[in-house]
């Protein structure tokens, strides 16, 4: 068995790992790189593997940093099968269409600019039609059902507790078991179930986004959220929340609904300004098989935790533009979560310069993204061709992360070896170098497993 790491090696985006066994070539995830020009170049650059040579693509979940290059993979020759959970498939359809739409808009904008400079136009990375075309290769693989991929290789998906439909991929090949964590969620995340702890593995490939950090408790994060709402409202400013359209938005909606219900915050006017988030919320409501007991209970009792008084869903761009003139304490939740594209840019442009406003981050901000630069305190930024002064308060509540923290990652890893099959090797991916180094040290010291942090395109015979 050979495993090669082609993305998310010493970084958090562009996840893509290749597993080869007995002539079979299986790709685990095919993510888009995010964060500035360097990422754009990687997304457009040559493939580290021949797309036509891949037999299967197993998708751990629908987030674009794990699935965003699938339309390009298909466009450039992939003809195998794509396996994912039914919920992931539904989310993928809307997410890839949305990503393609962004690609088309950006290419159009760039081309107009280039035309004025006498340069030839640029092609989008892929189009909406490309995104639709790749869906015919997808086959559902429900949790806990082994799929025979031929050549003596099987794969089973387990609940990763990260977003709706997210999965851990467990492969059996050549008498060995290799487990890819995908993105691992936190225990106690609303709506979805906790990550499944597996008992045996010979090789583990684990994410390490928060390998160097601990999240504050759940009560603290709700307190911080309520505080941010109250303080911003008292200043007469808007609260702008950049949020991943899928997962984070629904989790926040759920938590905000509970705060409003309990009277912990004054009545809110909350605008969900993301057609993708709206479609994703509808998909969440269809997939009760992924819910934890609490969410299932709410839905069976007829309560809809995503719809409460004061919530407005904003679909059209005219409705979205109308939000630009709102002041005085509304909450606007919009995507993308790392502020590198989408409608959030307009809301930042209209609120960042207002000292009474608050920009509240509720997810990891990768290096190079606008979100990260704001969090690091940049005072002047360019948005949509305009220089904007940053006068708003910029805050972050890390506990909303959909990723397990250091303790969660170690706890998940500790479960292996319970029936005697302790991992002979652990690979740490999907983390920035500091997070990986810290986590690697702990894994070695506390669990005694050999740990490797693969470099981009590094390959290992196992």
List contacts with Zn ion (CB under 5 A): 63, 183
Is 276 or 330 the residue whose CB approaches Zn ion more closely? 276
CA atoms within 13 A on the CB side of 383: 27
Adjacency order of strands within the sheet including 393-396: 311-313, 270-273, 331-334, 239-242, 358-361, 393-396
Specify the pairing of strand 358-361 against strand 451-452. unpaired
CB of 145 to Zn ion, least distance (A): 22
Is 63 or 215 the residue whose CB approaches Zn ion more closely? 63
Is 228 or 290 the residue whose CB approaches Zn ion more closely? 290
Is 63 or 287 the residue whose CB approaches Zn ion more closely? 63
DSSP 57-77: EE-S---HHHHTTHHHHHHTT
Distances 350 to 80, 277, 359, 386, 391 between C-alpha atoms, Å? 46, 21, 11, 11, 11
CB of 383 to Zn ion, least distance (A): 25
Is 82 or 352 the residue whose CB approaches Zn ion more closely? 82
Give the separation between CA 388 and CA 348, rounded to whole angstroms: 9
Give the separation between CA 333 and CA 355, rounded to whole angstroms: 19
Residue whose C-beta lies closest to Zn ion? 63
Is 60 or 232 the residue whose CB approaches Zn ion more closely? 60
Distances 296 to 115, 160, 165, 291 between C-alpha atoms, Å? 54, 18, 15, 6
CB of 244 to Zn ion, least distance (A): 8
Is 247 or 257 the residue whose CB approaches Zn ion more closely? 247
Burial classification of residue 417, based on how many CB atoms lie within 10 Å of its CB (0-12 exposed, 13-18 middle, 19 or more buried): middle
- Tokens at residue 205, please? 């490939």
CB of 8 to Zn ion, least distance (A): 10
Is 62 or 239 the residue whose CB approaches Zn ion more closely? 62
CB of 162 to Zn ion, least distance (A): 6
Distances 183 to 47, 54, 130, 255 between C-alpha atoms, Å? 23, 22, 26, 22
CB of 185 to Zn ion, least distance (A): 9
Burial classification of residue 22, based on how many CB atoms lie within 10 Å of its CB (0-12 exposed, 13-18 middle, 19 or more buried): exposed
Distances 66 to 58, 270, 335, 410, 451 between C-alpha atoms, Å? 10, 29, 17, 22, 23
């Amino acid at each position: 068995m050979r495993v090669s790491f082609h993305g998310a090696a010493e970084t958090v985006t562009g996840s893509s790992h290749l597993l080869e066994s007995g002539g079979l070539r299986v790709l685990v995830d095919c993510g888009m790189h995010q964060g500035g020009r360097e990422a754009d170049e990687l997304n457009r650059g040559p493939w580290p593997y021949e797309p036509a040579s891949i037999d299967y693509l197993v998708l751990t979940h629908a987030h674009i940093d794990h699935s965003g290059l699938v339309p390009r993979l298909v466009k450039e020759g992939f003809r195998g099968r794509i396996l994912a959970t039914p919920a992931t498939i539904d989310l993928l359809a809307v997410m890839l269409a949305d990503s393609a739409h962004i690609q088309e808009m950006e290419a159009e904008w760039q081309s107009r600019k280039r035309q004025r400079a006498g340069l030839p136009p640029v092609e989008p990375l892929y189009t909406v039609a490309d995104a639709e075309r790749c869906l015919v290769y997808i086959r559902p693989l429900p949790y806990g059902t082994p799929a025979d991929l031929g050549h003596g290789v099987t794969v089973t998906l387990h609940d990763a507790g990260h977003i709706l439909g997210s999965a851990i991929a467990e492969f059996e090949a050549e008498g060995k078991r290799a487990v890819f964590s995908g993105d691992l969620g936190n225990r106690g995340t609303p709506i979805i179930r906790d990550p499944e702890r597996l008992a045996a593995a010979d090789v583990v490939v684990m994410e390490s986004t928060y390998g160097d950090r601990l999240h504050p408790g759940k009560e603290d994060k709700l307190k911080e959220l309520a505080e941010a709402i109250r303080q911003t409202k008292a200043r007469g400013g808007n609260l702008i929340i950049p949020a991943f359209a899928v997962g984070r938005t629904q989790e926040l909606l759920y938590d905000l609904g509970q705060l409003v219900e309990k009277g912990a915050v004054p009545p809110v006017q909350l605008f969900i300004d993301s057609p993708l988030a709206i479609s994703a919320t509808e998909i969440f409501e269809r997939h009760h098989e992924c819910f934890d007991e609490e969410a299932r209970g709410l839905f069976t009792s007829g309560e809809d935790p995503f719809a409460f008084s004061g919530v407005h869903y904003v679909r059209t761009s005219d409705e979205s533009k109308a939000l630009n003139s709102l002041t005085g304490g509304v909450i606007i939740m919009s995507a993308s979560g790392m502020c590198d594209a989408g409608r959030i840019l307009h809301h930042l442009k209209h609120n960042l310069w207002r000292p009474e406003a608050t920009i509240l981050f509720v997810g990891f901000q990768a290096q190079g993204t606008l979100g990260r630069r704001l969090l690091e305190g940049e005072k002047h930024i360019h948005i949509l061709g305009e220089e904007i002064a940053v006068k708003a308060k910029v805050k972050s509540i890390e506990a909303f992360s959909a990723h397990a923290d250091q303790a969660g990652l170690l706890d998940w890893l500790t479960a292996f070896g319970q029936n005697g099959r302790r991992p002979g090797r652990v690979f740490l991916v999907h983390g920035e170098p500091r997070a990986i180094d810290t986590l690697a040290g702990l894994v070695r010291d506390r669990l005694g497993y050999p740990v490797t942090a693969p470099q981009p395109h590094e390959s290992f015979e196992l």
